Chains A and B, each alone.
Chain A
């Protein structure tokens, strides 16, 4: 079955550490996105990529980095520069002009 897979489901980070969240899709979608969701809040766009080897900052890109070396993969690194990283991270993909397919998310907690 086609879909979008995020891993891990839960992640714990120590202060000062960088961590990388994985996002893989086999839907042949060109566009991929990373959103952050805080408890009881909406989704805020971190980064997005419309094609391989190209990506753009969203509204809250500071403290995050991404790469898009393959069409299927769009990993997100949460760096130590992100001062409040505890949140629910959602990856999505889409065909241009169509609805988004979301992964099941990664819950990141700073310990």
Chain B
């Protein structure tokens, strides 16, 4: 089974609205990674968080790693149609191979 749980499964927003997806683990993670997969495409690495309480920004995207290193979030401010896709979090399991959450599928209405 999956070691990381992601919610929500789907999110539909109006262009310009904000969007957040959450990732939770039952165990402490040494790091967490985020990926984006466009429809019909392959996952693309966005960022890795390592430190407790870490916050990183990439333009309109804000990534957070919880203090206990068991949860993480990705927040997009003022969504655009180019943000459409599925966002996955991933946490390391044995030997650093990553286990992926089920993903949050974002659709944006122009």
Contact = CB atoms under 8 A, between A and B. Distances in A.
Give the interface residue-count category, chain A. Answer: 20 to 34
A85 interface: no
Interface of A: 31, 33, 35, 40-45, 48, 50, 56, 58-59, 90, 92, 96-105
A97 B64 CA distance: 18
B42 A90 contact: yes
A33 B97 contact: yes
26 contacts: A35-B100, A40-B105, A41-B102, A42-B2, A42-B88, A42-B100, A44-B100, A45-B97, A45-B98, A48-B95, A56-B95, A58-B97, A96-B96, A97-B31, A99-B33, A99-B35, A99-B47, A99-B48, A100-B43, A100-B98, A101-B45, A102-B42, A102-B43, A103-B42, A104-B41, A105-B42
B44 interface: yes
Given A45-B99, A56-B97, A100-B43, 16 more contacts: A35-B100, A40-B105, A42-B102, A43-B43, A43-B100, A45-B98, A58-B97, A59-B1, A59-B99, A90-B43, A92-B43, A96-B96, A98-B48, A99-B33, A99-B48, A104-B42
Contacts of A31: 96-97
A102 B44 contact: yes
Interface residues of B, number: 26
A79 B10 CA distance: 34
Contacts of B43: 43, 90, 92, 100, 102
Contacts of A98: 48
